[in-house]
């Protein structure tokens, strides 16, 4: 598994460094386009989230305009962060990883630049569409057809590019990150086109729509964001630490069990609903089986970092990535528990689920994307991060923000769920239980937004090549034991 560091005997380390630098440089424009737009949508998504959250605290806020009503701002937030931020950040990271792991400079970058343009026009049209009343009210697929079509075109271009990259890869070992990326890039277009055709372009009867909707919704997390997040963690953790992944066989087991079980999870969002019992049961079983890939990956990552936890003190990349990888385990174990019918009956239809979604998409995926950006951008731009202090502020604001958000939504959701379960408690009382927690959620949202603004400032300064020229990476610690992390590593 040390293959990523291996090279034929004839290649000197100096030559290898130069080659890596050339590969990095070849990814510059596409990576900056996807990353830059991702950060823009992260800010827009945060503002929409804050507005939606404040509206639950104070429902009369800005209620005179239809385009700012809660039922539109909330899906606009979700789609801005899912497609505008997380997907674009994931694509940007994947492009760079593919070039690095295929050990070849990025080819056909025009395809990717075109894709980035289509993608962003699609997201913009989609968000404006939702706010202006064209939203479809199909969770995770709210974009009207004119927007989802643009995303599909963009994704088609990316898939063509990915196939070309794999064709021209340098022969040899295929690293675990590549399995995940290849899978994600095959799964997502299939997923997105099937769901859009059956729900939006040629909608089937309502009775079948719920199943397709949650097959899509859950697999977007499980077969799109999760593989990209894990591919990134599998690359960055060994890379920053300079040691190989603990076990090749655990990687294989984790990959195939995820592919098989995750894809069957979706119906646990419909427990008790108007569906055949076997369909729901199959998903509950598959959800519980997720224990295998989750624990396998957790052990594999933990054993890789073990003995090197002090590195979290100095490396921003590693701190964000390991935070994310740990939250992957947490989010997955929580997800498994929520699929068990006797617990689902409490958490279903409550803010507990919203907390869980943020633990997955934010504490796991978004944190790993931040880690990846801290690693990749200096290599692509050829400039180090201007300020360790800004990175430190970013980390603590978002780490405390997301921790607080998950805790308050979990507690508020449990109280709400227990109250809903008891028919002697009035419905209004179940709502009253949530109110103080929803207020605290708004506070946590402010922390996250502040963190995102700090990150956006840092990101802009890096692109402008602000600050002093540095020969060494920007690290947190000033302590003596920090290890050098050369730019071309």
Partner 1 sequence: MNRMPVIVIGVFLTFLSSWLGLVAYPYFNLARYTPVVDENTGDINPPPLSGLAERGQQVYASAGCIYCHSQQVRQIGYGSDLARGWGSRPTVARDYMRESPVFLGTMRTGPDLTNIGARQPSAMWHHQHLYQPAVVSPGSIMPSYRYLYETRKIEGQRSAEAIDLLPPDNTPEGYEIVPTYEAEALVAYLVSLNRNYPLPEAPEPPQ
Residues 55-74 that bind partner 1 (CB under 8 A): 55-56, 59-60, 63-66, 69-72, 74
| Chain-centroid distance, C-alpha 201 | 27
Q: Among all chains, which residue has been given the structure tokens 């968000």?
A: 127
Identify the helix (H) or strand (E) that includes residue 45: helix 28-57
Please provide the DSSP assignment of 206-257 as one string.
HHHHHHHHHHHHHHHIIIIIHHHHHHHHHHHHHHHHTS--S-HHHHHHHHHH
Which residues, numbered 214-233, are part of the site for partner 1 (CB under 8 A)?
A: 215, 219, 223
Residue 170: exposure state from Cβ atoms within 10 A (0-12, 13-18, ≥19)? exposed
Assess contact for 304 and 241: CB atoms under 8 A: yes
Which residues, numbered 321-360, are part of the site for partner 1 (CB under 8 A)?
A: 341, 345, 348-350, 353-354
Is 83 a binder of partner 1 (CB under 8 A)?
A: no
Q: How far is the CB of 378 from partner 1 (least distance, A)?
A: 31
Range in contact with partner 1 (rule: CB under 8 A) among 16-24, 238-246, 263-271, 384-392: 263-271
Which residues, numbered 127-156, are part of the site for partner 1 (CB under 8 A)?
A: 133-139
3-state secondary structure of 467: coil
Provide the Cα torsion 489, 179, 369, 125; round to 10°: 130
209 vs 329, which CB is nearer to partner 1?
A: 209
Range in contact with partner 1 (rule: CB under 8 A) among 40-48, 115-123, 148-156, 213-221: 213-221
Is 435 a binder of partner 1 (CB under 8 A)?
A: yes
Phi then psi dihedrals of residue 67, to 5 deg: -75, -5
Is 311 a binder of partner 1 (CB under 8 A)?
A: no
Is 272 a binder of partner 1 (CB under 8 A)?
A: yes
Residue 82: exposure state from Cβ atoms within 10 A (0-12, 13-18, ≥19)? buried
What is the chain's length? 489
User: Using the rule CB under 8 A, which residue among 209, 247, 308, 488 binds partner 1?
Assistant: 209
Which residues, numbered 371-430, are part of the site for partner 1 (CB under 8 A)?
A: 420-423, 427-428, 430
From 146, 92, 156, select the one nearest 122 (Cα to Cα): 146
116 vs 290, which CB is nearer to partner 1?
A: 290
Which residues, numbered 85-124, are part of the site for partner 1 (CB under 8 A)?
A: none
User: Using the rule CB under 8 A, which residue among 29, 259, 440, 457 binds partner 1?
Assistant: 259
Is 186 a binder of partner 1 (CB under 8 A)?
A: yes
Is 297 a binder of partner 1 (CB under 8 A)?
A: no
| Chain-centroid distance, C-alpha 369 | 7
85 vs 215, which CB is nearer to partner 1?
A: 215
């Amino acid at each position: 598994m040390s293959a990523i560091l291996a090279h034929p005997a004839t290649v000197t380390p100096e030559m290898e460094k130069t080659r890596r630098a050339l590969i990095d440089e070849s990814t510059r424009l596409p990576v900056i386009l996807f990353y830059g737009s991702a950060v823009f949508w992260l800010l827009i998504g945060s503002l929409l989230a804050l507005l939606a959250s404040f509206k639950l605290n104070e429902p009369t806020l800005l209620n005179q305009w239809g385009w700012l009503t809660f039922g539109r701002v909330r899906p606009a937030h979700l789609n801005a962060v899912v497609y505008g931020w997380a997907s674009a950040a994931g694509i940007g990271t994947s492009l760079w990883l593919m070039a690095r792991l295929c050990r070849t400079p990025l080819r056909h970058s025009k395809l990717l630049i075109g894709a980035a343009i289509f993608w962003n026009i699609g997201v913009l049209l989609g968000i404006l569409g939702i706010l202006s009343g064209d939203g479809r009210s199909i969770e995770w697929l709210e974009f009207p057809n004119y927007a989802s079509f643009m995303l599909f075109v963009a994704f088609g271009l990316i898939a063509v590019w990915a196939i070309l990259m794999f064709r021209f890869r340098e022969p040899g070992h295929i690293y675990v990150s590549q399995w995940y990326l290849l899978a994600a890039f095959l799964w997502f277009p299939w997923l997105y086109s099937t769901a859009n055709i059956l729900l939006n372009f040629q909608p089937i009867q309502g009775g079948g729509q719920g199943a397709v909707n949650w097959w899509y919704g859950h697999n977007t997390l499980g077969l799109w964001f999760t593989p990209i997040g894990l591919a990134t963690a599998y690359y960055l953790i060994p890379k920053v630490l300079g040691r190989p992944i603990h076990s090749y066989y655990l990687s294989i087991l984790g990959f195939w069990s995820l592919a098989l079980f995750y894809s069957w999870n979706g119906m646990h969002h419909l427990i008790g609903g108007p569906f055949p019992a076997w369909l729901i049961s199959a998903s509950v079983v598959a959800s519980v089986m997720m224990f295998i890939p989750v624990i396998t990956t957790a052990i594999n990552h933990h054993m890789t970092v073990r003995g090197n936890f002090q590195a979290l003190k100095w490396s921003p990349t590693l701190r964000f990535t390991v935070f994310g990888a740990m939250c992957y385990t947490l989010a997955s174990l929580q997800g498994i528990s929520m699929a068990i019918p006797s617990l689902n009956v409490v958490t279903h239809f409550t803010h507990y689920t919203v907390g869980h979604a943020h633990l997955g998409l934010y504490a796991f995926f978004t944190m790993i994307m931040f880690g990846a950006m801290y690693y990749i951008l200096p290599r692509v731009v050829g400039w180090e991060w201007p300020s360790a202090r800004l990175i430190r502020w970013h980390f603590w604001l978002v780490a405390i923000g997301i921790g607080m958000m998950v805790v308050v939504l979990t507690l508020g959701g449990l109280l709400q769920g227990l109250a809903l379960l008891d028919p002697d408690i009035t419905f209004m009382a179940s709502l009253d239980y949530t109110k103080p927690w929803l207020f605290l959620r708004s506070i946590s949202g402010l922390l996250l937004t502040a963190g995102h603004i700090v990150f956006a400032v840092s990101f802009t300064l890096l692109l402008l090549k602000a600050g002093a020229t540095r020969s060494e990476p920007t690290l947190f610690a000033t302590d003596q034991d920090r290890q050098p992390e050369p730019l071309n590593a």
